[in-house]
Amino acid sequence: MAELIEIKVPDIGDFDEVEIIEVLVAEGDSVEVNQDIITLESDKAAMEIPSPADGVIKELKVAVGQKVKQGDVIALAEAASKTTTEASSPVKSAPAAIATPSPEAVPEVVAGGLIDIEVPDIGDFDEVEIIEVLVSEGDSVDVNQDIITLESDKAAMEIPSPVAGTVKQLKVAVGDKVKQGDVIAIAETSAVLSTPLPAAETIPVSSGKETAATIVAEALSKPAPEIEPEPELAPFAPDSKSGIKQAHASPSVRQFARELGVVLSQVGGTGVKGRITKQDVQGFVKQKLNAPAATTGGSAIPPVPIVNFEKFGEIESVELPRIKKISGKHLHACWLNIPHVTQFDEADITELEQFRKANKESAAKQGVNLTPLVFIMKAVVASLKVYPELNASLSEDKEHLIIKSYYNIGVAVDTPNGLMVPVIKDVDKKGFLELAGELGEISARARDGALTAKDLQGGTFSISSLGGIGGSFFTPIVNAPEVAILGIGRHTMQPVWNGKEFEPKLMLPLSVSYDHRVVDGALGARFTTHLNHMLSDIRKVLL
């Protein structure tokens, strides 16, 4: 029969009893050396007690809310291997504890003077991260009122003010790392420090797993006997002075929350004294995942109010076509996720239209309809070759730009069932007549509902033309994962000043929308101007 060992509370300093706020294992669980068993909490720090051996928990001797001291049995374990350290000995490799300054280290303070509030002795650690700043500039603080909270892999600790006064300047912020002697804040004292802070009290704690940095808890000074302790705040209630919500959780729960991307100040605690447990974090995540999609709009914007239209008159409910349902969701996602900018311009297509009309009859004999869109597609490709950033996509991590060496142009087609965007592949490799034939064929299949999934994939840039319907400028929505789209309005004959007189010119409205994360205003303007020049003299496309 395997050996049963007693897992005991190691040396925790001069404290008679420390409360258990979490039991991290259950009977029957397998544990490894240095795996945390329970979490203790003193007035100023939380610490975790690890298992001294590999094995199986046969019996738990403690529960949440109990108080324990050095030598108390936490659990009985069936050892799977020889213990690495005696159960009753202090935790292996426990570092020196964090200590408050000695009375001699406390500077003499004069009422009304400015004093630096510094990080006290935190042992052998070079830097510890700040996870909370509990005061703001202008706040009044009392002696021993907590200023900041530090956290390592294994413990959280709070640093108090050594004086009563007003915080004049904060020198740190959440996320900063500090070490002994670093200035936290500058305070203007309101009274002489009548008694120095008492000598440091230390709490050795577990070193935890070998891969984690060990942190020792600190018991800073106890409140002076004549000062009544403030009543404990309700869980997550804002601090009355700074308005900052405090998340009460052990280091292991904080690490667990970080791994899941959970902000602890948003989680309600059900543990002892409002502590946040791992179950609370898991429940919060499940609640968010199961929240109905209708509760909010995109990017957590408020939902549109629901209105009963029948009370205003007769109505009819008509179901949206399937294509509009699908494209609507995609367009909604594109609009919310892409920071849009639209560049407007007008292109002189007088010569282009003359050339098109001169060749229209010849194209018709070959069975194709030579439309202005064919020329616009070729002009777009010529411009994309000069400005390849617009023929690209953002990588999934949004850290890289994927520039494509192929030119597949999506063309928006108005069908009886809604807007569809079939893709014309390799536009740069095809002539005007070949493109005209392919454009006519794929547009017909789109209107007949005969497009395949392959016809709708692989686009690098899109064109939306409203010229056949009417209108001038508009703001087309970028078709992600593309980064730009061209909108074309209806061309009109306009008088254009040539420096001497007005000339009649056929002007085409251009609206280029682009993803501002990829394309800035200057690049967008250059692309639009280059496209304008290509359309003004379509022969340049051949260069």
Active site residue ranges: 516
User: Which residue from 103, 91, 70 is spatially nearest to 215, judged by alpha carbons?
Assistant: 91
230-233 contacts: CB < 8 A, separation 24 or more?
Answer: 232/273
Which helix (DSSP H) or strand (DSSP E) does residue 376 occupy? Answer: helix 372-386
Residue 207: strand, helix, or coil: coil
Tell me the one-letter amino acid at 444: A
CA angle 253, 61, 255 (to 5 degrees): 10
Distance CA(538)–CA(494), nearest Å, equals 20
Give the separation between CA 469 and CA 462, rounded to whole angstroms: 18
State how far the alpha carbon of 391 is from the alpha carbons of 334, 394, 398, 454, 462, in Å: 17, 11, 16, 19, 10
How many other β-carbons are positioned within 10 Å of the β-carbon of residue 14? 10
Whole-angstrom Cα distance, residue 81 to residue 60?
20
β partners of residue 511: 344, 487
**Nearest one of 218, 99, 96 to 155, comparing CA atoms:** 218
Distance CA 393, CA 515 (A): 10
DSSP assignment of 299-362, as one string? GGPPPPPP--GGGGS-----PPPHHHHHHHHHHHHHHHHS-EEEEEEEEE-HHHHHHHHHHHHH
Q: Who contacts 75 (Cβ-Cβ below 8 Å, separation ≥6)?
A: 6, 7, 25, 37, 57, 58, 59, 60, 61, 62
